[in-house]
């Protein structure tokens, strides 16, 4: 029996984590983070629920990684605090991980680096054959995996571009050889299943960037997702053509480009990239800054530049800013729109997604890319991964249009799984999972109650009510009421004074005045009073002190 578990990564484009289980052994493919939505104030990251893995950690024998984007590797430091098993990855991903683990203080790990052009390896009962695929980060792979139930294909992200910027094209010949037998199922990328045709290549982007930069009269700023090494290569190529020096801004970009350069994946002349200190001695019209934080994340280098809070770099009237990033991940458009508006308001010439200047291409295959993969692998069953529900159902439609029985396509929600036995497939019992939220150093200590409180605080404000009791339990004077974020201070005094007097009378009606009584009456009475007077429901915090 083989069980495929989609622990997460099937109702959003992030948090990819899939489990293969057979003969009492488990192997994980990918372990990524997600990002908070608009109803998660203060949350930094969302990570998969590892409860099932931790509960069965004696079965876990390895983690296999397909690529270096955060939504595929970002949650590993959190998982490795719970389990310690070997990891398999390509050279670029290996070095990304070593740098990440250093930041997180993870020092007890084993990484096995493989070359997808010829290596294969065993993870317990699983024999894994990697092969290159084209994506927006180099060294991305798909896997053919031999299991006791037969060979399967797991291709988290791909497009069929045979002329990529990094030269690492989809290895169709190796994939075709690996598929030259009966394939049980294919789990693959569905994010582009709504888009017709093929996803276009990225070569033309460099020419479009060149046309903009060539005309720029002052400093040029460029931004893209921090692991998009191929896009940075194009930016550097443009800088070298027009005689500009390049400065990387933001630790994530600095580290990832350094790693890619040391591996020979990113190429440039020795004097092209300079430090921020050296940039102070270069004319503005000879500088290109490549900046992290392309989605306008609060606190990122791009965000701080946009609001004039970066300690060393500023964008000024007459500068040029090029965004090579569409706000594709959920909830990123608002923040990216904000920084673009800030830059435009300064007089910066901003080139971004709404202008349709062909400065960005998706790393995900469209309908024709997906169909080509279907025909190359020719599996019996299909499992869409890496996209929202609407994309999974479009993927299912593509498969059925390709002659597949609809019952052979499994659209799984987090925790759902498929059991394969003797060539047949059935849905297994769902594993209960939840969103695990990371805020600061806390992991999983922010839940629905805390988020509910934050929502009330953000939308309605807070009222603190302080009662003073003497040693005999008698109320001294009227309770003091302090509000924040509830009503405008100049009009709050009369309302709060009235509330204080009314509340004291309500409490004194009780025969036995205890702290619990005061708390209950305060919450009940003031909640109704404030809603009646203002139509709002602030958070009310009663405090009782003895003096």
Which sequence positions are flagged as catalytic? 189, 364
- The answer to whether residues 126 and 20 touch, using CB atoms and an 8 Å cutoff, is yes
CA 407 to chain centre: 31
- Alpha helix positions (H), 146-279: 172-178, 203-215, 229-242, 251-262, 276-279
- The answer to whether residues 209 and 231 touch, using CB atoms and an 8 Å cutoff, is no
215 Cβ partners below 8 Å, 6+ apart? none
- The answer to whether residues 263 and 257 touch, using CB atoms and an 8 Å cutoff, is no
What DSSP designation does 34 have?
A: B
CA atoms of 100 and 32, how far apart (whole Å): 13
Kindly state the tokens that stand for 480: 């003091």
What DSSP designation does 57 have?
A: T
* Dihedral Cα 435, 440, 445, 450, nearest 10 deg: -90
The continuous run of DSSP H or E covering 188 comes out as: strand 183-189
- The answer to whether residues 236 and 272 touch, using CB atoms and an 8 Å cutoff, is yes
385 Cβ partners below 8 Å, 6+ apart? 6, 9, 10, 16, 18, 156, 187, 188, 189, 190
CA atoms of 98 and 260, how far apart (whole Å): 13
CA distances from 483 to 20, 461, 462 (A): 53, 7, 6
Burial of 254 (0-12, 13-18, 19+ CB in 10 A): middle
């Amino acid at each position: 029996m083989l069980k495929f578990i989609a622990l997460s990564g099937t109702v959003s484009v992030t948090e990819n984590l899939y489990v293969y289980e057979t003969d009492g052994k488990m192997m994980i493919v990918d372990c990524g983070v997600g990002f908070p939505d608009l109803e998660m104030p203060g949350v930094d990251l969302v990570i998969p629920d590892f409860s099932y893995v931790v509960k069965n950690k004696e079965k876990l024998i390895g983690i296999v990684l397909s690529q270096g984007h955060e939504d595929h590797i970002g949650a590993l430091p959190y998982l490795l605090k719970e389990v310690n098993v070997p990891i398999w990855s390509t050279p670029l991903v290996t070095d990304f991980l070593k740098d990440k683990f250093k930041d997180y203080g993870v020092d007890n790990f084993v990484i096995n680096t493989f070359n997808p052009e010829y290596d294969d390896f065993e993870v317990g009962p699983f024999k894994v054959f990697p092969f290159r695929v084209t994506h927006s980060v180099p060294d991305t792979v798909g896997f053919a995996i031999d299991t006791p139930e037969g060979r399967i294909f797991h291709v988290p992200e791909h497009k069929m571009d045979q002329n990529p910027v990094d030269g690492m094209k989809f290895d169709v010949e190796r994939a075709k050889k690996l598929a030259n037998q009966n394939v049980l199922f294919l789990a693959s990328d569905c994010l582009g299943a709504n888009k017709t045709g093929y996803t276009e290549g990225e070569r033309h982007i460099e020419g479009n960037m060149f046309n903009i930069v060539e005309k720029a009269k002052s400093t040029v700023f460029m931004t893209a997702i921090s692991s998009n090494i191929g896009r940075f290569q194009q930016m550097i190529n443009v800088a070298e053509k027009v005689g500009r020096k390049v400065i990387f801004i933001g630790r994530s970009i600095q580290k990832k480009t350094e790693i890619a350069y040391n591996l020979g994946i990113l190429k440039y002349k020795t004097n092209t990239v300079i430090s921020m200190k050296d940039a102070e001695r270069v004319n503005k019209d000879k500088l290109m800054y490549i900046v992290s934080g392309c989605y306008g994340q609060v606190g990122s280098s791009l965000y701080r530049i946009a609001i004039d809070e970066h300690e060393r770099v500023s964008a000024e009237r007459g500068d040029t800013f090029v965004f090579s990033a569409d706000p594709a991940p959920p909830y990123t458009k608002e923040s990216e729109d904000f920084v673009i508006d800030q830059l435009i308001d300064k007089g910066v010439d901003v080139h971004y997604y709404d202008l349709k200047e062909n400065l960005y291409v998706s790393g995900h295959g469209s309908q024709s890319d997906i169909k080509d993969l279907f025909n190359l692998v020719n599996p019996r069953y299909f499992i869409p991964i890496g996209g929202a529900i609407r994309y999974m159902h479009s993927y299912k439609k593509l498969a059925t249009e390709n002659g597949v029985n609809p019952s052979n396509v499994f659209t799984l929600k987090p925790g759902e799984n498929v059991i394969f036995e003797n060539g047949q497939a059935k849905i297994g019992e769902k594993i209960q999972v939840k969103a695990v939220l990371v805020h600061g150093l806390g992991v999983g200590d922010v839940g629905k109650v805390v988020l509910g409180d934050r929502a009330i605080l953000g939308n309605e404000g807070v009222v603190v009510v302080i009662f003073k009791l003497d040693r005999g339990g008698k109320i001294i004077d009227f309770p003091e009421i302090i509000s924040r974020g509830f009503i405008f201070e100049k009009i709050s005094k009369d309302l709060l004074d009235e509330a204080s007097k009314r509340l004291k009378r309500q409490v004194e009606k009780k025969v036995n005045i205890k702290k619990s009584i005061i708390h209950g009456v305060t919450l009940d009475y003031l909640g109704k009073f404030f809603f009646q007077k203002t139509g709002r429901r602030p958070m009310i915090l009663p405090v009782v002190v003895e003096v």
